[in-house]
Amino acid sequence: MGVIGRRRCLQWSALAAACGAAGLGPAATSRPPARGRVVIIGGGFAGSACALHLRQLDASIDVSLIDPDEYYATCPMSNAVLVGLRAMASITVSRAGVRRAGVKVIRARVAGIDGTGRSVRLEDGLALPFDRLVVAPGIRFLWNKLEGYDEAATQAMPHAWQAGAQTQLLAMQLRAMNDGGVVAISVPFGLMRCPPAPYERASLIAQYLSLHKPRSKVLIFDANNHFPRQDQFTDTWQTRYPGMIEWMPPTQDGAVVRVDPSSMTLYTSQAAHPVAVANIIPPQAPGQIAADAGLASDRGWCPIKPTTFESQLISNVHVVGDACIADAMPKSASAACSQARQCAGAIAALLAGREVPEPAFDSVCYSMLAAHSALAIHGRFIVQDGRIAAVESTAAAPAAASTAVAPGATTAGAQEALAAQRWYRSIRADSFGG
């Protein structure tokens, strides 16, 4: 049997098991009936964490996770890959841990969602029934919202906003750039995945340049007038990388309106800026399947009921992670995992006829300032008056360091860098299994 044949055979086996648990085939006679059928679309932090927590809460729930890829590269820590502080393999996870938890992993693409008939249709025509559906599609890029920037342009001007090949391409361009070259980072206006990440990226690129190409510079073209932890970032830039990073908000003609990949030029309303390396982060919206299924509102993102994360537009369908409107919560891996835990608890309760647990969310975002320095943004959130509201969003007290502080690093920054590494290991295990 060839590779394609074996893959199709495995896919049919997984689907047969899922249908059997639903009472649609012979497998139904070989085990007790499942308490409910939950299908999850998307195997990133939100989708995988929801699948794991559902199995932990109630092993009788039949959980299927649909994702076309066997491996997933995490956006957290991908900026460290750009500058050689990590290898791509160190941020790449498999589905093995999710499978060990008893989740049926189906490698396929979704063609459509039938909310009324409660089924998910795969591209090969097979249908998977559900009692509850969780949609965790992440983001998609809005091509051509920035004139001149489409999928083809990413080969000259990488976005590197989904870890993987684009991360490696941008890293290669940084290595190949001559000393004295200019690196541009273009930040879009509006909601986006991991709002502090462009400024972490600028910091790490500046450190790389200071060591290897000290006559070079980083220009941040920003369509926003403010960004998270702005004072801490700018203080670090002035101290560690004096004169190397320039941030240009719209008030300083920093919003990019057009790009020309052939000449590596960024255009603002008043000037043209030729650069050696251009990192263009496109405007973003929910993953395509969410838009196609009618889960997105005219605001562009997916409105949900904050206690259960059930869609406000389609019953029995839940949306978690970057795609949903979570009010005060940021679009981050940590926030997605917190939402996934609440969603899993709500689904388990609804299937069992119990009261949905009272929600309490948290998130933490670590941004690396240098190889041995970081800052953290912590937040706690509750549901108040039908919305998710922040009750705390402050920098956490530095965690106790377990190794010596690196030369040139502040004690607090070094401790946060160690905490960031521990956090990353923890959130990976919590989302993708050990």
Domain-located, residue 373: no
Please say whether the beta carbons of 196 and 367 come within 8 A. yes
User: Does residue 369 belong to any structural domain of this protein?
Assistant: no
Domain shared by 213 and 339, yes or no = no
Same domain, 218 and 306: no
Residue 109 domain boundaries: 3-139+285-357
| Phi, psi values for residue 374, rounded to 5° | -155, 165
HSE (side-chain half, CA atoms, 13 Å) at 164: 6
Residues of the chain predicted below pLDDT 50: 1-33, 393-409
Query: Do 262 and 294 share a structural domain?
Result: no
Q: For residue 408, is it within any domain?
A: no
| Contacts of 146 by beta carbon, 8 Å cutoff, 6+ apart | 186, 188, 256, 257, 258, 259, 280, 282, 283
Of 250, 282, 314, the domain-final residue = 282
CB 322 within 8 A of CB 330: no
Asked if the structure places residue 426 within a domain, the reply is no
**In this structure, is residue 244 part of a structural domain?**
yes
Last residue of a domain, one of 328, 357, 386: 357
CATH of the domain at 270: 3.50.50.60
Residues 118 and 60 in one domain: yes
> Within this chain, do residues 19 and 95 fall inside the same structural domain, yes or no?
yes
**117-137 confidence digits (pLDDT tens):** 999 999 999 999 999 999 999
Judge whether 120 and 104 are in contact, CB under 8 Å. Answer: no
Rounded CA-CA distance 276/278 in Å is 7
Same domain? 85 vs 187: no
> Domain count of the chain?
2
Do 339 and 350 lie in one domain? The reply is yes
**Which of 314, 330, 357 corresponds to the end of one domain?**
357
Q: Are residues 89 and 31 in the same domain?
A: yes
Tens of pLDDT, residue by residue over 380-412, are 999 999 999 999 544 443 333 333 334 444 567
Within a domain: 274: yes
Q: What pLDDT is recorded for position 412?
A: 73
Would you state the pLDDT for residue 411? 64
Are 197 and 277 contained in the same domain? yes
